[in-house]
Amino acid sequence: MPAPLPGMDPWLEHPALWPDVHQRLITSLAEYLGPILRPRYYVAVETRTYIAAPAAPDHFRYPDVMVVTTPIRETLTAAPPETAAGPFVVNVPVPDEFEEGYLEVREVASGEVITVVEILSPTNKQPGDGRKTYETKRAEIFRTRTHLVEIDLLRDWPAMPFFGDGHQTHYRILIRRGERYNRADLYAFNVRDPFPRFPLPLQKGDAEPIVDLKPLLDTLYDKASYDLRVDYTKPPTPPLADADLEWAAEVLRRRAAPAA
């Protein structure tokens, strides 16, 4: 079963579901591009580790792919008698460690990284140490001739910095070609729009495959049984504007209606 909406499904942005979507989409994109790019290029799935400050106890955060933890063995001891002075149970700040996937398109002959493909996540988009780490890596790429494809399918949190676009949209795909230095192509779209198809930049003179995220999302939507895991009777998280929510509800109603 394909995803029910013509473009990005905002219900997939839920923090409990997005880590799974992100990981599957990274893998699907690598599997799609691999056969197309051979024998001149290959696609590697890489991981980056983030150390993030802990959230407040009343703000549970879902990790992007996984939380790396070390089990702690507890020793049970008899509880001391209560006294007027305490003790009191408190929370201590333990930093979280996150691993996140991204893609590198490498030239077979040289092993050189030609293109980096990033799909943004809460870890590297929400303000904090994770975003600072990602923005530092992003700036390093911009100082080289490596191409960057940055896919932002999350409506929450501020967009990554760029200049020259005066309007706000729900989603963005940024393509920065290494030879263009400080200029990039921005594909901006909203929840009602279909996914824009975009070229994957490669070495000059090589044919560039056109990427369409919609069939990839449709396939993983079916394989992951998201139709069984998403409650479309409830508003998505983060919420949509009333007009967009009404539009989405109407699309879902038409899809659920039996064929005449």
Per-residue model confidence (pLDDT) at position 154: 99
pTM for this structure? 0.84
Position of tokens 């939380």?
67
Position of tokens 């706000």?
168
Q: Is residue 80 part of a domain?
A: no
Q: Is residue 3 part of a domain?
A: no
How far, CA to CA in Å, does 40 sit from each of 110, 117, 203? 10, 18, 10
According to DSSP, the residues that pair with 52 across neighbouring strands are 96
Q: Is residue 120 part of a domain?
A: yes
Give the contacts of 257 (CB within 8 A, at least 6 positions apart). none
Q: Is residue 45 part of a domain?
A: yes
Q: Is residue 70 part of a domain?
A: no
Q: 42 is in which domain, residue-wise?
A: 10-63+96-256
Q: Is residue 108 part of a domain?
A: yes
CB atoms within 10 A of CB 153: 24
What are the φ and ψ backbone dihedral angles of 10, each rounded to 5 degrees?
A: -65, -20
d(CA 214, CA 231): 21
Position of tokens 């056109």?
210
How far, CA to CA in Å, does 183 sit from each of 115, 164, 203? 16, 10, 17
Position of tokens 């676009």?
165
How far, CA to CA in Å, does 205 sit from each of 138, 201, 208? 25, 10, 9
Single-letter amino acid code for the residue at 22 = H
Q: Is residue 76 part of a domain?
A: no
Q: What is the pLDDT of residues 39-70, one digit of tens each?
A: 999 999 999 887 766 655 444 444 333 333 34
* Nearest one of 129, 142, 205 to 174, comparing CA atoms: 142
* Nearest one of 96, 103, 140 to 122, comparing CA atoms: 96
Q: Is residue 218 part of a domain?
A: yes
As a 3-state breakdown, the chain gives helix, strand, coil percent values, each rounded to 5, of: 30, 20, 50
Per-residue model confidence (pLDDT) at position 60: 40
- How many independent structural domains does the chain possess? 1
- Lookup: tokens for 33: 């591009």
89, 42 contact by CB (below 8 A): no
Q: Collect the ranges in the chain with pLDDT lower than 50.
A: 57-72, 74
Position of tokens 């007027």?
84
